[in-house]
Structure 1
Amino acid sequence: MIPYTYILINFFTVIICFLASFDRRIQFNKLFGKFLLSSTIVAIPFIAWDIWFTAKGVWWFDLNYTLGLKIAGLPVEEWLFFYCIPFACVFTYYCLEKYFTLGWTDALNNLIVFTSFIVLGVVGLLYYERIYTLLTVIVTIITLCYLHFIAQKEWLGKASFVYLILMPGFFAVNGILTGSLIPSPVVNYNPNDFLGIRMGTIPIEDAVYGYSQFLLNIYFFKKITENEK
Structure 2
Amino acid sequence: MKFTYLLINFLTIFFPIILSFDKRVQFFKSWKFIFPGLFITGLLFLLWDYIFTIYGVWSFNPDYVIGVYMLNLPLEEILFFVTVPFACIFIYECLNYYVKKDLLKRYSIYINSALFGFSVLMLLLYYDRVYTLITFGLLAVVLLFAEFIIKSSILSRFYLAYLVSLIPFYIVNGILTSIPIVMYNDAENMAFRVGTIPLEDHFYSMAMLMLNIMFFEYFRNRAKAVYE
Normalised to the residue count of structure 2, the TM-score between the two structures is 0.95
Aligned partners of 1:117, 1:29: CA distance in 2, in Å?
34
Q: Once structures 1 and 2 are overlaid, which stretch shifts more, 216-225 or 95-104? A: 95-104
Q: Structure 2 unaligned runs (5+)? A: none
2:220 match: 225
CA deviations over 1:56-77 (Å, ceiling 9, x no partner): 1111101110111101110000
Kept after mapping to 2: 8 A contact 1:198/1:204: yes
2:104 match: 105
Kept after mapping to 2: 8 A contact 1:106/1:158: yes
Equivalent position amino acid for 1:40 in 2: F
Secondary structure at the counterpart of residue 67 of structure 2: coil
Aligned partners of 1:104, 1:27: CA distance in 2, in Å?
23
Aligned partners of 1:31, 1:167: CA distance in 2, in Å?
23
Secondary structure at the counterpart of residue 115 of structure 2: helix
Are residue 167 (structure 1) and residue 162 (structure 2) matched?
no
1:216 match: 211
Aligned partners of 1:31, 1:117: CA distance in 2, in Å?
31
Number of residue-to-residue matches in the alignment: 224
* 1:86 positional shift: 0.5
CA deviations over 1:135-167 (Å, ceiling 9, x no partner): 111000000111011111122122112111111
* 1:27 positional shift: 2.0
1:74-85 to structure 2, matched below 5 A, reads 74-85=73-84
Equivalent position amino acid for 2:218 in 1: K
2:122 match: 123
Q: Percent identity?
A: 38
Equivalent position amino acid for 2:55 in 1: K
Aligned partners of 1:119, 1:102: CA distance in 2, in Å?
28
Aligned partners of 2:183, 2:6: CA distance in 1, in Å?
17
2:24 match: 25
1:53 match: 52
Aligned partners of 2:142, 2:114: CA distance in 1, in Å?
14
Equivalent position amino acid for 1:211 in 2: M
Kept after mapping to 1: 8 A contact 2:25/2:93: no
Q: Structure 1 unaligned runs (5+)? A: none
Aligned partners of 1:105, 1:78: CA distance in 2, in Å?
33
Aligned partners of 1:153, 1:224: CA distance in 2, in Å?
14
* 1:196 positional shift: 0.4
1:87-106 to structure 2, matched below 5 A, reads 87-106=86-105
* 1:25 positional shift: 2.1
Kept after mapping to 2: 8 A contact 1:109/1:154: no
